[in-house]
């Protein structure tokens, strides 16, 4: 009897232990993994690495890898809340959304977390909703010498928009954003267009950056560092009485810039013209693809590189006073391939004879080298030509009452009450791309200019490209 009772108790204990083991195994089998990806829709438009993902009720955090992936192992079924933290959001004083998720017996995969929407970010940073086609630019203004933040710096972004006024005539409307940096040197520009090229300028007192060009197709949130030299005298604003007829800024900056130019295969590109936007400093790359620019104003500047047959390239650089900086360019393949022409028995004086023939014909307007010299070889050289309009525009910086920065002018033709862009020929070849910077540079080399502002009077040599806006022909030979 006693043995039977002991056996019964033992059987009951074994059965109870079996039930406990079965319950434990059932709970373990019911646990599954939770995994997904964190995406940055504001700045990079790519998966967000280094984000710390928090799952309610789970003690450990999961950090996203370089592909933005995260995972939690052995999560019991139920309803949870999940969010994440990242320095990007901290810098914007934003918080990630909190997501509610349901985890089943087999877990949950393919979970997608993202930074706040552009509308939410716009309300937080700008206090109002913004057009989804615009961007928010966060500028950080710093001292070019020390790297310290610069408070009370005036920043501005300007551009033009086209609109139709009375009589459906197109009008150019100036647009401008301006703000002052806070104690951390931060400036927020809200509603920056993303479909055109715009430049941002920052100044503190009399010192200024160059025109820092922002890339097209900006992300929803774009960042840009702006460095101002407080000691380089060449990094000063122009006097408020300056016009586009004066040189942009005096020579004599303290920075040096070494530019290395190569093609996509790594070969040196010689003969490329390197310049600093808005400055009178330029150089040509040698056989090693190197150009050295001396006397460049310190601070943030935009460097342009132009090579025959290749698309222009530019980069923004931060130049330290009294130091040499290096910037490298990789130019794309030849952008324009012209057909081969075989020329026999044509002497350079034939082109001069044709020019004289057209000049004696009394059609059009002609400027020789002496005329260009008298007019300074700048915008006024063409602004005096009947039928042409060369806007003599200055750009105010910091409130509109202070110094101005230089803008290279464009050539326009008045045609039937409208302003339009003429076709530009250089040495008899039509230029498909010609902007105000090109005009300033080519006028320094020009020997003769002929202008036909009325399409019906364009000589047959140039009639095929005349269109409705006439032709400007510039000769450097």
Q: 331: domain CATH number?
A: 2.60.40.4130
Parent domain of 101: 31-116
The pLDDT confidence band at residue 111, using thresholds 50, 70 and 90, is: very high
Q: 148: domain CATH number?
A: 2.60.40.1120
Q: Are residues 222 and 257 both part of a single domain?
A: no
pLDDT score, position 194: 86
Q: Are residues 55 and 92 both part of a single domain?
A: yes
CA-to-CA dists, residue 77 to 64, 126, 236, angstroms: 23, 41, 66
Q: Is residue 262 part of a domain?
A: yes
Q: Are residues 221 and 142 both part of a single domain?
A: yes
The pLDDT confidence band at residue 421, using thresholds 50, 70 and 90, is: confident
pLDDT score, position 24: 43
Decide: 115 and 84 in contact? Cβ < 8 Å.
no
pLDDT > 90 fraction of the chain, expressed in percent and rounded: 37
Q: Is residue 362 part of a domain?
A: yes
Q: Is residue 239 part of a domain?
A: no
Q: Is residue 242 part of a domain?
A: no
Total number of domains constituting the chain? 5
Q: 400: domain CATH number?
A: 2.170.130
Other Cβ atoms within 10 Å of 260 Cβ, number: 16
The pLDDT confidence band at residue 18, using thresholds 50, 70 and 90, is: very low
Q: Is residue 237 part of a domain?
A: no
Q: What is the mean pLDDT of the chain?
A: 80
Q: Are residues 57 and 3 both part of a single domain?
A: no
Domain endpoint, select from 92, 116, 140: 116
Q: Are residues 469 and 381 both part of a single domain?
A: yes
Domain endpoint, select from 298, 314, 337: 337
Q: Are residues 150 and 76 both part of a single domain?
A: no
pLDDT score, position 467: 63
Q: Is residue 243 part of a domain?
A: no
Rounded to the nearest 5°, which phi and psi values hold at 322?
A: 60, 25
Q: Are residues 108 and 123 both part of a single domain?
A: no
Q: Are residues 296 and 187 both part of a single domain?
A: no
Q: What is the pLDDT of residues 19-56, one digit of tens each?
A: 434 444 444 446 789 999 999 988 888 999 999 999 98
Structure tokens at 325: 């900086």
pLDDT score, position 364: 86
DSSP-derived pairing of the beta strands 52-55 and 62-63 = antiparallel
Q: Is residue 418 part of a domain?
A: yes
Q: Which residue has the higher pLDDT, 245 or 411?
A: 411
Q: Are residues 222 and 331 both part of a single domain?
A: no
Q: Is residue 234 part of a domain?
A: no
Q: Are residues 92 and 179 both part of a single domain?
A: no
User: For 69-83, 253-267, 439-453, which range has the lowest pLDDT when averaged over its residues?
Assistant: 439-453
pTM tops 0.95, yes or no: no
Q: Which residue has the higher pLDDT, 163 or 133?
A: 133
Q: Are residues 140 and 216 both part of a single domain?
A: yes
Q: Are residues 20 and 73 both part of a single domain?
A: no
Domain endpoint, select from 116, 144, 166: 116
């Amino acid at each position: 009897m006693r043995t039977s009772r002991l056996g019964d108790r033992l059987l009951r204990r074994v059965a109870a232990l079996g039930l406990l083991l079965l319950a434990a195994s059932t709970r373990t089998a019911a646990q599954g993994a939770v995994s997904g990806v964190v995406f940055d829709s504001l700045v990079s438009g790519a998966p967000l690495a280094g984000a710390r993902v928090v799952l309610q009720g789970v003690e450990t955090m999961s950090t996203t890898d370089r592909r933005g992936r995260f995972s939690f192992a052995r999560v019991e079924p139920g309803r949870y809340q999940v969010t994440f933290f990242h320095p990007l959001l901290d810098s914007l004083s934003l918080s990630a959304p909190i997501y509610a998720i349901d985890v089943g017996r087999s877990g949950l995969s393919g979970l997608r977390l993202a930074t706040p929407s552009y509308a939410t970010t716009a309300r937080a940073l700008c206090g109002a909703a913004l057009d989804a086609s615009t961007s928010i630019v966060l500028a950080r203004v710093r001292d070019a010498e020390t790297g310290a933040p610069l408070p009370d710096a005036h920043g501005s972004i300007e551009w033009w928009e086209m609109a139709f006024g009375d009589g459906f005539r197109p009008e150019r409307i100036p647009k401008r954003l301006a703000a002052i940096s806070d104690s951390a040197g931060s400036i927020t520009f809200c509603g920056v267009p993303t479909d055109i090229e715009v430049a941002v300028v920052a100044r503190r007192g009399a010192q200024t950056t160059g025109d820092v060009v922002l890339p097209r197709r900006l992300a929803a949130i774009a960042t840009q560092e702006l460095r101002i030299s407080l000691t380089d005298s060449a990094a000063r604003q122009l006097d408020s009485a300056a016009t586009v007829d004066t040189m942009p800024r005096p020579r004599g900056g303290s920075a040096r810039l070494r530019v290395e130019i190569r093609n996509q295969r790594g070969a040196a590109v010689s003969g490329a013209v390197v310049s600093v936007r808005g400055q009178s400093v330029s150089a040509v790359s040698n056989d090693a693809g190197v150009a050295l620019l001396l006397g460049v104003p310190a601070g943030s500047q935009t460097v342009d590189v132009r090579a025959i047959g290749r698309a222009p390239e530019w980069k923004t650089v931060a130049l330290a006073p009294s130091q040499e900086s290096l910037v490298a360019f990789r130019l794309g393949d030849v952008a324009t391939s012209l057909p081969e022409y075989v020329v026999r028995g044509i002497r350079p004086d034939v082109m001069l004879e044709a020019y004289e023939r057209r000049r004696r014909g009394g059609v059009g307007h002609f400027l020789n080298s002496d005329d260009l010299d008298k007019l300074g070889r700048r915008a006024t050289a063409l602004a005096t030509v009947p039928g042409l309009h060369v806007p003599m525009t200055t750009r105010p910086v910091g409130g509109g009452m202070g110094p101005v920065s230089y803008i290279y002018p464009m050539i326009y033709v008045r045609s039937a009450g409208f302003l339009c862009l003429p076709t530009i020929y250089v040495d008899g070849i039509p230029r498909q791309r010609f902007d105000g910077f090109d005009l300033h540079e080519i006028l320094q080399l020009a020997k003769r200019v002929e202008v036909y502002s009325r399409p019906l009077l364009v000589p047959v040599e140039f009639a095929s490209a005349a269109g409705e806006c006439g032709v400007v022909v510039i000769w450097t030979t």
